[in-house]
Amino acid sequence: MQRIALLVAAATMALPAVAGEEDLKALREEVAQMKQAYESRIASLEQRLAAAESAPAKSQSPQDGGRRGAAAADGFNPEVSLILQGQYRRMKEVSERSITGTWPAGGHDHGGDERGFTLNHSELVVSANVNPYFRGLMNVALKDGEAEVEEAYFQTLGLGQGFTLKGGRFLSGIGYINEQHPHAWDFADAPLMSKALFGEHYGQDGLQLKWVAPTDLFMEFGAEIGRGAGFPGTDRNKNSAGAGALFAHVGGDVGRSHAWRAGLSWLTTRANDREAHFEDTDAAGPNEVEGLFTGRSRTVVADFVWKWAPEGNPKERNLKLQAEVFRRTEHGDLACASDVATSPCVGGLGLGNLRSAQTGGYAQAVWQFMPRWRVGYRYDWLNAGSKRYDPATVFAALDPANAYFTRHRPQRHTLMADWSQDEFSRLRLQFARDRSMQGVSDNQVTLQYIMSLGAHGAHKF
Q: In this predicted model, what pLDDT tens digit does every residue of 341-361 receive, in sequence order?
A: 667 777 778 889 999 999 999
Q: Which of 228-242, 282-296, 428-442 has the lowest mean pLDDT?
A: 282-296
Question: From CA 157, how far away is CA 68, in angstroms rounded?
Answer: 27
pTM for the structure as a whole: 0.81
Domain boundaries, the chain: 2-72, 79-454
Residue 377: per-residue pLDDT: 98
Residue 460: per-residue pLDDT: 77
Higher confidence at residue 211 or residue 399? 211
Question: From CA 417, how far away is CA 366, in angstroms rounded?
Answer: 9
Q: Which band of pLDDT confidence, cut at 50, 70 and 90, is reported for residue 214?
A: very high
Residue 157: per-residue pLDDT: 94
Give the pLDDT mean for 223-234.
95
- Model pLDDT for residues 170-208, shown as the tens digit of each residue: 999 999 999 999 999 999 999 999 999 998 899 999 999
pLDDT at 51 exceeding the cut of 90: no
- Model pLDDT for residues 3-47, shown as the tens digit of each residue: 455 444 554 554 444 446 777 777 787 777 777 777 777 777 777
CA distances from residue 314 to 363, 366, 370 in whole angstroms, order as listed: 21, 12, 10
Q: Which residues pair with 165 in a beta bridge?
A: 209
Residue 401: per-residue pLDDT: 60
pLDDT at 72 exceeding the cut of 50: no
Residue 47: per-residue pLDDT: 72
- Model pLDDT for residues 272-315, shown as the tens digit of each residue: 999 887 765 544 555 677 889 999 999 999 999 999 999 989 99
Question: From CA 331, how far away is CA 298, in angstroms rounded?
Answer: 9
pLDDT at 70 exceeding the cut of 70: no
Among 17-31, 134-148, 257-271, the range of highest mean pLDDT: 257-271
Residue 353: per-residue pLDDT: 94
CATH number of 79-454: 2.40.160.10
Residue 399: per-residue pLDDT: 64
- Model pLDDT for residues 368-379, shown as the tens digit of each residue: 999 999 999 999
- Model pLDDT for residues 84-119, shown as the tens digit of each residue: 999 999 999 887 788 988 988 865 555 557 889 988
Residue 18: per-residue pLDDT: 43
Cβ 126 vs Cβ 120: under 8 Å: no
- pLDDT cut 70: percent of the chain above it: 84
pLDDT at 459 exceeding the cut of 90: no
Give the pLDDT mean for 422-426.
92
Residue 428: per-residue pLDDT: 98
Per-residue 3-state assignment (H helix, E strand, C coil) for the chain: CHHHHHHHHHHHHCCCCCCCHHHHHHHHHHHHHHHHHHHHHHHHHHHHHHHHHHHHHHCCCHHHHHHHHHHHHHHCCCEEEEEEEEEEEECCCCCCCCCCCCCCCCCCCCCCCCCEEECCCEEEEEEEEEECCEEEEEEEEEECCEEEEEEEEEEECCCCCCEEEEEEEEECCCCCHHHCCHHHCCCCCCCHHHHHHHCCCCEEEEEEEEEECCCCCEEEEEEEEECCCCCCCCCCCCCCCCEEEEEEEEEEEECCCEEEEEEEEEEEEEEEEEEEEEEEEECCEEEEEEEEEEEEEEEEEEEEEEEECHHHCCCCCEEEEEEEEEEEEEEEEEEEEECCCCCCCECCEEEEEEEEEEEEEEEEEEEEEECCEEEEEEEEEECCCEEECCHHHHHHHCCCCCHHHCCCCCEEEEEEEEEEEECCEEEEEEEEEEECCCCCCEEEEEEEEEEEEECCCCCCC
